[in-house]
Amino acid sequence: MHIPNGFIDPKMATGLGLASAGALAYCFAKVKALVASPVLKEALAGVGKTISSISGKARSSFGDTFIIKMGAVASLIFAAQMFNFPVAQGTSGHLLGGVLAAVILGPWAGTIVISAILTIQSLFFADGGILVLGVNIFNMAIIGSIGGYYIYYGTKRLVGFFPGAAIAAWLSVVAAAAATALELGLSGTFELIETMKAMLSVHAIIGIAEAAITIAVLGLIMTIDRKLIEAFNNNE
Amino acid sequence: MNKSILFILVLSFGVALTASIFASSHPDGLEKVAEDLGFINAAAETPGAMPDYIFPGIKNEVLATVFAGIIGTLLTFWLFWTVAKFFRPASQ
């Protein structure tokens, strides 16, 4: 769902770019506070154990391990986004990963992770226009991770962890598609209602795959190390 | 490094490799909608070092994608690794 240059009115791209920049600044502040927090450092001592073995000299800490965990999740989602799966009649879809990142890392770190991926894709792989990077960050990182996280947070109380994550994953894709359609329509690129119908119908299907991949990866990570996911959630 | 984190990292290289070989080359949801509704031509050509996840100069497309994918995955991780260094306590 990476919007290329040329699809979005420059005024809208600037506006959403500024909104994304503001939201990202907030996310950075939240994550910075988190990695520096001694309370969480203690609570999460189990997660932040052994970074020391790599450099051999540096002492372990929660802060740098959390950021390295962000990096590992980011590289996994980057790789997974390359995996285009066939949907219907000559269409493919791929993971967006906003909910996946947010469930593992929390909404703020999740947003930073997806934004970093979108930036690398735009700068090096011509995947998503550089001029509309802020729009793509708004649709996939902010709606995906922050919006998706709070849907997950609300629904998991009602239906449990995996169904909650699945519903949030599906909704995050459909919401991102709706936002994209709205941006295209308001930019005058194509008629709004037609674009909305087309975007929603194809992404309602892609969203099912998003939900399936999200809970599969969460399940896998929980099997490997439950703490990777739960440690954060217990403190939310 | 924390074993579980290392596992996720190894997994991502595995996924990048698999994706390079098996990924569908059909347009994604947005591209398809743009083609069907006829506004795909509004898209401006974007420059990029490895457009479409193809490493330049390698004839074999799968190999070129594997290269691009591994580089992208490494680059993503490296970015966070570098940032993490600033939060690492000084050595004792």
- The pLDDT assigned to B7 comes to 92
Chain B residues touching A72 at Cβ < 8 A: 5-6, 8-9, 12, 77, 80
Give the global pTM.
0.91
Pairs of residues, one from chain A and one from chain B, whose beta carbons lie less than 8 Å apart: 237
DSSP H stretches of helix in chain A? 10-36, 38-43, 52-55, 62-81, 98-105, 107-125, 133-136, 148-159, 161-186, 192-224, 227-234
Chain A residues touching B52 at Cβ < 8 A: 125-127
Chain B residues touching A3 at Cβ < 8 A: 30
Give A57: exposed, middle or buried? Use CB within 10 Å, 0-12, 13-18, 19+: exposed
Nearest Cβ partner for B44 among A129, A177, A203: A129
Chain A residues touching B80 at Cβ < 8 A: 67-68, 70-72, 74, 116
Nearest Cβ partner for B37 among A5, A123, A195: A195
Q: How far is B56 from chain A (nearest CA, A)?
A: 11
Chain A residues touching B91 at Cβ < 8 A: 55, 57-59
| Span B19-56, pLDDT tens digits | 988 999 999 999 999 999 999 999 997 778 898 899 99
Chain B residues touching A91 at Cβ < 8 A: 26-29, 32
Rounded to 10 degrees, what is the CA torsion of A143, A27, A99, A169? -20
- The pLDDT assigned to B45 comes to 79
Pairing assessment for the beta strands A92-93 and A85-86 based on DSSP bridges: antiparallel
Higher per-residue confidence, A234 vs B2? B2
- The pLDDT assigned to A34 comes to 85
How high is the ipTM of this complex? 0.94
Q: Which residue of B has its CA nearest to A180?
A: B30
Q: Phi first, then psi: what are they for A16, rounded to 5°? A: -70, -30
Average pLDDT per consecutive 10 residues, chain A (236 residues; last block may be shorter): 96 98 97 75 51 42 86 97 92 97 96 98 95 98 98 96 97 98 97 98 97 97 86 53
Rounded distance between C-alpha atoms, residue A109 and residue A8, angstroms: 27
Chain B residues touching A47 at Cβ < 8 A: 2
- The pLDDT assigned to B1 comes to 67
- The pLDDT assigned to A233 comes to 58
Rounded distance between C-alpha atoms, residue A61 and residue A138, angstroms: 32
CB contact under 8 A, A71 and B4: no
Give A147: exposed, middle or buried? Use CB within 10 Å, 0-12, 13-18, 19+: buried
- The pLDDT assigned to A38 comes to 57
Interface test with B, best of A125, A127, A192 (most B CBs within 10 A): A125
CB contact under 8 A, B19 and A82: yes
Please report where in the chains the tokens 């190894």 appear, as a residue.
Answer: B10
Q: Which residue of B has its CA nearest to A109?
A: B80
CB contact under 8 A, A69 and B83: no
CB contact under 8 A, B5 and A69: yes
